Amino acid sequence: MEDTIVAISTAVGVGAISIVRLSGPEAIKIVNDCFKGNDLTKVASHTINYGHIYDKSKTNLLDEVLVSVMKAPKTYTSEDIVEINCHGGIITTNKVLEAMISNGARLAEPGEFTKRAFLNGKIDLIKSEAIMDLIESKSDEARKIALNQLNGTTSNLIKDIREKLKNLLSSIEVNIDYPEYYDIENVTENKIRKEIESMKSTLQELIQTSENTSILKTGINTVIIGKPNVGKSSILNKLLLKDKAIVTDIAGTTRDIVEGEVLIEGVLLNIIDTAGIRETEDIVEKIGVEKSISMIPEADLVIVVLNSNEELSPEDKMILEKTKNKQRIIVLNKNDLEKKIKLPVGIDKESIIETNTMEKDGIKNLKNKIVYMFHLEKIKTKDYTSLTNTRQITLAKKAYESILDAEESVENNQPIDIIEIDLKECFDILGEIIGENYSEEIIDNLFKNFCVGK
Ligand code: GDP
């Protein structure tokens, strides 16, 4: 990496301090050229230096700062890194940033610091992604998974399987190349079978854990749906414990979409309260209705709210019909009032619960149902060695398939070089997960999703 990059690494806004970070061969010189204080090119590595930052002409004072100088290779990117701790605030921080750019630094792209750490071999791809996950984690559980990945537990698991594959592959090679030497370890079918079996179960367990725990990271996208006045907003408010949605008894109050997030057993529920579903001529409400129906396919969970104090209306029936193939909970709300509702036969009784938003624990059933449905209690106690995004999980599944292919080839007494192809494929795919082999395009896309300055 020849050029030196710069970015504001703290959130943009008013705060006590902001950090402008540089990485690259010229980082120290660029800062030193507009710094008055110790000569930064001569200070020891990993020191914090007090001084003043000026503009390029070194006449206009920009800020009083503390400058951290960290010399390669023991830095985040493996390059020289300088961090300028400025006073917080948008204008000052931007001025310092501009000074660095006019002195020769280039504005970093999103995630470019981490990309450099990866390209310089400082961290693997799983760890790079874990850094972003850690920053973005919204629950303690998600944070623990990211931290575990960052510690290398998941990468080590993948590396262990690759190591086994490598050993197996090399002994197969020896057998192919020197079949006449029988003092060289003979890779018997049994040995291959045993190794394959062990790798298969490790991968299978990893995929299973990852699929269960991915919910911890993404949360459960939940849509609350029902005709006006059944109590959707009240339920949302009870879940969120604040008055986010406006609750009134005029039908159709929640016209647009209200969103909120709540943690249940440490798992994030992203809730959307959709506009009341109702046959209507009102344009605004109609848009809302269409929106709410269009959100059903994307949801992980649909909470259908019905008023237990009323008979089932055609709209209710329509909602039940539209959500019948989804993971859903049917809430018979207002159970503090007389029960008049009769659900059509054929509805899964397991999915029905009764609630009310009047009593303190009126929606406890709903929370319990969510915990039960998504096995949230079990997830919590699970081990945190897991893959966390679609990229990683899809590749792990592909690797698992090649192991299955290898197994099948063994069972069908295929020649050893056919088995070798499957094992080699598995080795390469696992390499992609940790970024041992990668394509430029994938890497570029991946880091683009990072925030600027990371
Ligand atoms: P939405 O239009 O479906 O979002 O319904 P709201 O949450 O705005 O509630 C409509 C009306 O029903 C309000 O007057 C609420 O106070 C009332 N309500 C909500 N939940 C209950 C409940 O469990 N029992 C009773 N009796 N009234 C409720």
Residue 322 belongs to domain with CATH number: 3.40.50.300
Q: Are residues 37 and 171 in the same domain?
A: no
Task: Determine, yes or no, domain membership for 94.
Answer: yes
Tokens of 106: 């280039």
Q: Are residues 70 and 9 in the same domain?
A: yes
Alpha carbons 173 and 179: distance in angstroms, whole number: 10
Q: Are residues 247 and 321 in the same domain?
A: yes
- CATH number (domain holding residue 203): 1.20.120.430
Sign of CA dihedral 385, 391, 394, 398: negative
**Given this model, what pLDDT does residue 184 score?**
46
Q: Are residues 118 and 131 in the same domain?
A: no
Q: Is the pTM of this model over 0.75?
A: no
Alpha carbons 240 and 222: distance in angstroms, whole number: 13
76 C-beta neighbours (distance < 10 Å), count: 19
Q: Are residues 234 and 304 in the same domain?
A: yes
Residue nearest to atom 10 of ligand 1 (CA): 229
Task: Determine, yes or no, domain membership for 448.
Answer: no
Q: Strand 17-23 and strand 81-87: pairing?
A: antiparallel
Q: Are residues 224 and 364 in the same domain?
A: yes
251 CA to centre of ligand 1 in angstroms? 10
The residues pairing with 123 across neighbouring beta strands, listed in sequence order, are none
Helix H or strand E segment including 67? strand 61-70
Backbone Cα Rg of the chain: 29
The closest-lying atom of ligand 1 relative to the alpha carbon of residue 251 is 2
Residues 6 or more apart in contact with residue 441 via CB below 8 angstroms = none
pLDDT along the chain (454 residues), means of 10: 90 87 97 96 97 92 97 96 93 94 94 93 91 84 85 92 93 74 60 91 90 78 88 86 55 58 79 60 54 81 94 91 92 96 90 93 90 76 76 94 94 88 95 88 79 74
Task: Determine, yes or no, domain membership for 451.
Answer: no
**Given this model, what pLDDT does residue 240 score?**
80
- CATH number (domain holding residue 100): 3.30.1360.120
Output the CA–CA distances (angstroms, integers) from residue 309 to 7, 231, 335, 341, 348, in the order listed: 59, 12, 7, 6, 20
Q: Are residues 141 and 102 in the same domain?
A: no
Domain final residue, candidates 99, 123, 147: 123
Task: Determine, yes or no, domain membership for 251.
Answer: yes
Q: Are residues 274 and 137 in the same domain?
A: no
Q: Are residues 137 and 183 in the same domain?
A: yes
The closest-lying atom of ligand 1 relative to the alpha carbon of residue 333 is 23
Q: Which of 195, 166, 205 is nearest to 406 (CA)?
A: 195
Residue nearest to atom 22 of ligand 1 (CA): 334
The CB-side HSE value for 112 (13 A sphere, CA atoms) comes to 20
**Given this model, what pLDDT does residue 274 score?**
65
**Given this model, what pLDDT does residue 277 score?**
47
229 CA to centre of ligand 1 in angstroms? 6
Task: Determine, yes or no, domain membership for 306.
Answer: yes
The closest-lying atom of ligand 1 relative to the alpha carbon of residue 356 is 23
Q: Exposed, middle or buried: residue 381 (CB in 10 Å: 0-12, 13-18, 19+)?
A: exposed
Q: Are residues 203 and 252 in the same domain?
A: no
The closest-lying atom of ligand 1 relative to the alpha carbon of residue 357 is 23
* Helix (H), strand (E) counts: the chain: 15, 13
Alpha helix (H) residue ranges in 105-257: 112-119, 125-136, 140-150, 153-177, 189-218, 232-240
Residues in contact with ligand 1 (CB, 6 Å cut-off): 226, 228-234, 247-249, 253-254, 276, 333-334, 336-337, 356-358
What is the residue range of 79's domain? 5-123
292 CA to centre of ligand 1 in angstroms? 19
Q: Which of 286, 283, 287, 260 is nearest to 273 (CA)?
A: 260
Q: Which of 35, 33, 63, 29 is nearest to 49 (CA)?
A: 35
Q: How many residues does the chain have?
A: 454
Task: Determine, yes or no, domain membership for 445.
Answer: no
Domain final residue, candidates 91, 123, 155: 123
Determine the distance from the C-alpha atom of residue 148 to the mean position of all C-alpha atoms in its chain, rounded to a whole number: 14
Alpha carbons 133 and 129: distance in angstroms, whole number: 6
Domain count, the chain: 3
233 CA to centre of ligand 1 in angstroms? 7
Domain final residue, candidates 123, 158, 192: 123
Output the CA–CA distances (angstroms, integers) from residue 403 to 24, 190, 203, 427, in the order listed: 42, 15, 9, 10
Task: Determine, yes or no, domain membership for 193.
Answer: yes
425 C-beta neighbours (distance < 10 Å), count: 18
Q: Are residues 361 and 224 in the same domain?
A: yes
Q: Are residues 278 and 316 in the same domain?
A: yes
Ligand 1 pocket mutation pick from 237, 289, 292, 357 by most atoms within 8 angstroms of CB: 357
**Given this model, what pLDDT does residue 383 score?**
65
Q: Is 303 helix (H, G, I), strand (E, B) or coil?
A: strand
Task: Determine, yes or no, domain membership for 281.
Answer: yes
246 CA to centre of ligand 1 in angstroms? 11
